Amino acid sequence: MIVADKKPLAEVLASIGKAGRVLVIGCDTCVAECAAGGRKEVALTASALRIALEKEGRRVEVREACLDRQCVNEFLPEAAEDMAWAERIVSLGCGAGVQALARFYPESDVVPGLNTQFIGTTVQPGVWVEECSGCGDCKLAFFGAVCPVTRCSKRLLNGPCGGSKGGKCEVSPEVDCAWQLIYDRLAALGLLARLREFVPPADWSASHSGRPRTIIREDRRI
């Protein structure tokens, strides 16, 4: 999922400017799972804005809404009435959601309420960890489903380096050495021989390098 966290309230207030009608709109998919932009966070942000604005002596109406997915056009018409009403829209979607919403409603002034961080997993309640860099050339098959591109601080495809000590990375004792994880997992699976296979260099042209990536599936197009 896409993992995000909240922007400072002061930044959101600044982006609202002098608008008198504000819509806070969440997304009930990835950012709901990471407790940043689901219905509860919409309620929290809207309440905080109402209190902060009233404290400043401003009379601003703040509405709340939440879409199932902000990044998919089919879900966006549901917000049409609120979008038309609002002078400023604070999106608690990820960066893709913010842009999809703004593109779908070209007359609306949409600002982000979150900082989008990474593709990650919920490793325990309240803890989200980056696990995928979206590099476009997945090598997980070689590495026991542990991604060295994301989880190794040096992105080594031929680790470990000399900085691996006691299963931890020299960057921080809090960080697991990805190559220790790879070794342990392959050992547990009895697949250590896989580490003897030659791993071709990554095709970095498939990564985010100078242009937005696009995938086109003709069988899914209308």
Partner 1 sequence: MAENELKVVVRGCHNLVPYRKLVTDRQHRWPRGVEAGLLPCSSKVEAHQVLKFFEQGADGALILACPLGACRLVEGNRRAAKRVGYAAEWLDEIGLEPVRVRFVAVEPDRAGDLTELISEFYQEIVDLGPTPIRGSGPGGGES
Q: What are the backbone angles phi and psi of residue 86, rounded to the nearest 5°?
A: -80, 145
Question: For residues 53 and 120, is the Cβ–Cβ distance under 8 A?
Answer: no
List 41, 97, 98, 178, residue binding partner 1 (CB under 8 A): 41
List 5, 15, 50, 140, residue binding partner 1 (CB under 8 A): 50
Query: Between 43 and 119, whose beta carbon lies closer to partner 1?
Result: 43
194 binds partner 1 (CB under 8 A): no
40 binds partner 1 (CB under 8 A): yes
Please count the CA atoms within 13 angstroms of the CA of 150 that sit on its side-chain side.
21
Element (H, E) at 61: strand 61-67
Q: Angle CA(45)–CA(50)–CA(52) in degrees, nearest 5?
A: 90
Query: Between 128 and 183, whose beta carbon lies closer to partner 1?
Result: 128
Query: Between 63 and 155, whose beta carbon lies closer to partner 1?
Result: 63
54 binds partner 1 (CB under 8 A): yes
201 DSSP assignment: P
- Smallest separation, CB 172 to partner 1 (Å): 25
Binding site for partner 1 (CB under 8 A): 8-10, 40-41, 43-44, 46-48, 50-55, 59-64
